[in-house]
Amino acid sequence: MSQRVAILISGGGSNMVRLLEDMAQPGHAAHPVLVLANDPDAGGLAKAAAQGVATKVIDHRDFKGDRAGFEAAIDKELRDSDVDIVCLAGFMRILGAEFVKGWDGRMLNIHPSLLPKYKGLNTHQRALDAGDTEHGCSVHLVTPELDDGPILGQAKVAIKQGDTAQDLAARVLKQEHQLYPKVLREFAASLKAE
Ligand code: GRF
C-alpha cells in the first residue's frame, strides 16, 4: 500500500513543491494526502491546491497560550486523513513532546545545517561566524528535542570567501530540494517493505 503523506508548512513551500513533484513520479512508495499550514497566508497552500492536494489551515493565532490545543487540532487532521508519514517542510512552530511522540519514527524534518551543528534559527549566519568552510542541510527523524533526531541524510555546500548569509541560504536551499525528495523516497520505500 502506498504510504499517505502530510506536509506541514509555514511559508512559500519550495521544499513541499519538490516533495509533491517527486511523489508524482511513477514507482514512488508514497503519495500526498494533505498539506497543512499554521498560517493562512502561507504561499505554499495555493501551490499544493494547484497540484490537486487537499489543504488545511490550523492558525496558531487562534490558540493563544494553548499549544496543546493547537497541536491536538493538527493531530486530529492528520488522523482524520489517515496519514502514515508527516514531513515538516519549513514549518516554523516548535512541536511539543506529546505530539511528537504520537508520530514517533514517522515524522521527518529538513533543517538548514549540518546537524548536530546549529540547531534552531539563523544557521547560515552562525556557520559564517564560526569560520566554517562547509555547510549544508540535514533531513532527520523528529524527536521531542529540537532538531535532534536520527539523521537520515545530509548534503553539503562549500562556503566561499565573501559569502553572505543570503548567498549561503540560496545555495543550501538548492541542496534541500535535492535531498528531501531523495530521503522521503527511501524512507517511504523502507516503511512499505516492513
Ligand atoms: C528551508 O530553508 C528549511 O530548511 C527551513 O525553512 C526553509 C523553508 O523553505 N526550515 P520553503 O518553505 O520550503 O521554501
Residue 175 DSSP SS3: helix
**pLDDT digit string, tens, across residues 26-44:** 999 999 999 999 999 999 9
Residue nearest to atom 7 of ligand 1 (CA): 90
Q: Which of 121, 123, 171, 173 to mutate to test the pocket of ligand 1 (most atoms within 8 A of CB)?
A: 173
Residue 193 has pLDDT above 90, yes or no: no
Distance 194 CA to ligand 1 centre (A): 30
**Cβ atoms of residues 181 and 174 within 8 Å:** no
Confidence at residue 62, expressed as pLDDT on a 0 to 100 scale: 97
Residue 155 CB–ligand 1 contact under 6 Å: no
Predicted model pTM = 0.97
Residue 124 counted as domain residue: no
**Cβ atoms of residues 84 and 106 within 8 Å:** yes
Residue 117 counted as domain residue: no
Phi, psi (deg, nearest 5) at residue 51: -90, 5
How many residues does the structure list for the chain? 194
- The structural domain count of the chain equals 1
Residue 97 has pLDDT above 90, yes or no: yes
Which residue out of 111, 135, 140, 177 is catalytically annotated? Answer: 111
Residue 116 CB–ligand 1 contact under 6 Å: no
Residue nearest to atom 6 of ligand 1 (CA): 90
Residue 165 counted as domain residue: no
Domain with 184, as residue range(s), is 3-112+138-154+176-193
Residue 38 counted as domain residue: yes
Confidence at residue 78, expressed as pLDDT on a 0 to 100 scale: 98
Residue 186 counted as domain residue: yes
Residue 95 has pLDDT above 80, yes or no: yes
Residue 188 counted as domain residue: yes
Residue 1 has pLDDT above 90, yes or no: no
Residue 72 counted as domain residue: yes
- pLDDT-based confidence at 99, cuts 50/70/90? very high
Residue 194 has pLDDT above 90, yes or no: no
Confidence at residue 46, expressed as pLDDT on a 0 to 100 scale: 98
**pLDDT digit string, tens, across residues 136-150:** 999 999 999 999 999
Residue 60 counted as domain residue: yes
- pLDDT-based confidence at 18, cuts 50/70/90? very high
Enter the C-alpha cell of residue 144. 521531542
Report the distance separating Cα 101 and Cα 13, nearest Å.
Answer: 25
- pLDDT-based confidence at 192, cuts 50/70/90? confident
Residue 181 CB–ligand 1 contact under 6 Å: no
Respond yes or no: is residue 28 known to be catalytic. no
Query: What CATH number is associated with residue 181?
Result: 3.40.50.170
Confidence at residue 100, expressed as pLDDT on a 0 to 100 scale: 97
Distance 15 CA to ligand 1 centre (A): 6
**pLDDT digit string, tens, across residues 57-82:** 999 999 999 999 999 999 999 999 99
